[in-house]
Structure 1
């Protein structure tokens, strides 16, 4: 099948949505599909976008710029994407997260719309209503069950459209190969290495990690990721010698860091924001780093949020803590530090569950309608 993936975020970039989109296009290609990704020009200067993201396949990435026309730039870009699709030959399926481009091209081919948050902007919801009314819409993919439930409440007609499948598909990770080099981390020989990988936006729990470093001076804490501005903000507030900021790394370069960590943290707070404070996503978040932790068989300590319990089981494949209780997080770290067998057991079960349920390749089959598949299945 020929698939055009329509994305509204820059490729390449420092943001997680770019990683998600590239991983999905890679998985679609693994499944035997011919994929072209449409995205705005990148914001990170790289020579090879596929090497930057570490994809296995060299699917085509076509950049379509957004003109700087207030109020109209996104729509103009959407029309340009549609024109390019027609010029190059209409694909068999339009898939993606670019709401305006999907709407603009929805008369050309069947459409699958994937969403990761319920937009607070009424104008965006209005565009979604238009897309939901298009006869070519075949599926809507939600990144968590909580998000699917909220969409059903906000768009009650969506659930009654017999031609549209509603599919919940969590984020994923590729299975990590056994072995491989570990990063040479700064810090003290023999110190427990506690890792965090991800952005440093509000609600990601950076303050919790720094409080833990104060309470647990015998452990070394490593934070990988974040924009230069966010990293500078937190570094200026942290004078502890057991905290190491590593900054943003290409997605293809993260595996050695995962291998080097003894314990990994996912301290999401009760309010979690996207880049620039756009969109509060704590009810629906499905963090890719969580699945990458699982892929590498790491002992995970995560926030006890209802949406994370869709994937995590306390004491089975992780330890869960109240998001804002530093006492509980400190106790959990201490417990794992003193019990290597428990670390290994939690990590092994996390890896097993990732392999069984949450690989990109399996997700590709889950989200795509099969040729000739009848509509209306849930």
Structure 2
């Protein structure tokens, strides 16, 4: 390894997920960059390896002050995937097999490339963001003889079955997940529910560490409202209920049109501002138009992550309208921490980690996730009692800056990594 006398580490961060453009605006992209940047700020040497940099050629890459190794799939992998796709088209099948095969084969591409690149100058640790079929990080760590720290953000197979096509190669994905998590020297999960899930796969309790998501505290902080931000989005001092996030079904955007309809009779000038983009955006906008709510709604689409805090600071109420899931609430909602960082007054459901982080009546208002009227009542209370909203927001900001930052997470992960490196150094 290459640790110096001051304890600085060489960290190879591996993101094998073909769906995460590491320099893009997706939630996973932001998560990767935030932690990588925190490692770098702490003085560690970090290299990020990924198959995808941006969502499209037209997207401006986010700035990241660490080396990024772009490892696209090899031509033989793409050729195999295309051949399978052509066969499926010939027989009239809509099977996702071609895409799934590409994901599987890519792990070999990435592992081979990184083994060659780091054979003569090994990292101290490999840090991998868990991906469906993801085995590259474990293979690289084993080949280089260094510890693997595996970050698990979701039960990926369950998520694929419930929220995406659900047509992936389930048996293969399950075997790959179990193979990887049981080879990791440490597994880092974002919630208590995920901890239980990982242990159920056969990982020893003492190797699993729960580390919730966090914020970049230099970006997400309390501050004054900016007239230029309101002008850009056609806002003129109206009270704002705001949402930040994607359009995946688990985020609960379907609840927002009904919420607005309940609030408008009590607060006729209220505006709903939705920050983010995704495949469900057009369906959401159609709902808004069909219900005659377009004048009261602003949808920003995708914006650079460093522009999000200024919008959150405009929110009079920030919502996280997660519906009650058909499974354990395993999320560690990034939006929740970012709302808190900007001192927004939060209305959120009593679910999983949300109830652990938000103290009802102190740092936000909680409501029953199965009660749409309770969400509207919480928003109404915050819109009507501005003193309460300010108090909750400021206390939430103190809480998140004290406990939930990427710098805190990086420091904790580094301590775990140092212990693993030291154990290897003294092992016979």
Using the size of structure 1 for normalisation, the TM-score is 0.87
- Tell me what 2:72 maps to: 65
CA distance 1:204–1:259, shift in 2 (3 Å):
same
Deviation at 1:94, TM superposition (A): 0.6
- Tell me what 1:44 maps to: 56
| Unpaired stretches in structure 2, ≥5 consecutive residues | 1-8, 82-97, 159-169, 424-428
1:129 and 2:178 matched: yes
Once the two structures are superposed, what CA deviation does each residue of 1:120-179 show, in whole Å capped at 9, x if it has no partner? Answer: 344323123323443xx3210001012102222x22x3126xxx6211000101123453
- Tell me what 1:243 maps to: 297
- 2:216 equivalent among 174, 183, 188: 174
- Tell me what 2:154 maps to: 117
Once the two structures are superposed, what CA deviation does each residue of 1:199-231 show, in whole Å capped at 9, x if it has no partner? Answer: 12213221221111112222111111122x422
1:2 and 2:19 matched: no
The number of aligned residues is: 355
- Tell me what 1:105 maps to: 140
Give yes or no for contact 1:213–1:221 (8 Å, CA) kept in 2. Answer: yes
1:296 and 2:331 matched: no
Cα distance between partner residues in 2 of 1:49 and 1:334: 39
Deviation at 1:72, TM superposition (A): 4.1
Cα distance between partner residues in 1 of 2:378 and 2:299: 22
Once the two structures are superposed, what CA deviation does each residue of 1:84-114 show, in whole Å capped at 9, x if it has no partner? Answer: 3233322111101143211321312210011
Cα distance between partner residues in 2 of 1:117 and 1:15: 15
Give yes or no for contact 1:187–1:220 (8 Å, CA) kept in 2. Answer: no
Cα distance between partner residues in 1 of 2:191 and 2:247: 22
Cα distance between partner residues in 1 of 2:341 and 2:365: 16
Deviation at 1:64, TM superposition (A): 1.4
Alignment of 1:1-378 (within 5 A): 1-7=9-15, 8=17, 9-41=20-52, 42-45=54-57, 49-51=61-63, 55=64, 58-66=65-73, 67-68=77-78, 69=81, 70=98, 72-89=101-118, 90-98=122-130, 99-107=134-142, 108=144, 109-118=146-155, 119-120=157-158, 121-134=170-183, 137-152=184-199, 154-155=200-201, 157-159=202-204, 165-175=207-217, 176-179=220-223, 182=226, 183-184=229-230, 186=233, 189-217=236-264, 218=268, 219-227=270-278, 229-238=279-288, 239-240=292-293, 241-271=295-325, 283-368=329-414, 369-373=416-420
CA distance 1:178–1:235, shift in 2 (3 Å):
closer
CA distance 1:47–1:231, shift in 2 (3 Å):
closer
State the secondary structure of the residue aligned to 2:62. helix
Once the two structures are superposed, what CA deviation does each residue of 1:274-324 show, in whole Å capped at 9, x if it has no partner? Answer: xxxxxx876201111111001101100011113321212211211111223
Cα distance between partner residues in 1 of 2:323 and 2:221: 31
Give yes or no for contact 1:270–1:282 (8 Å, CA) kept in 2. Answer: no
CA distance 1:364–1:188, shift in 2 (3 Å):
closer
Deviation at 1:266, TM superposition (A): 0.4
Moved more, 179-188 or 342-351: 179-188
Deviation at 1:188, TM superposition (A): 5.8
Give yes or no for contact 1:75–1:101 (8 Å, CA) kept in 2. Answer: no
- Tell me what 1:275 maps to: none
Using the size of structure 2 for normalisation, the TM-score is 0.77
Give yes or no for contact 1:112–1:141 (8 Å, CA) kept in 2. Answer: yes
Larger-Rg structure? 2
Give yes or no for contact 1:269–1:282 (8 Å, CA) kept in 2. Answer: no
Moved more, 206-215 or 79-88: 79-88
Instruction: Answer 1 or 2: which has greater helix percent.
Output: 2
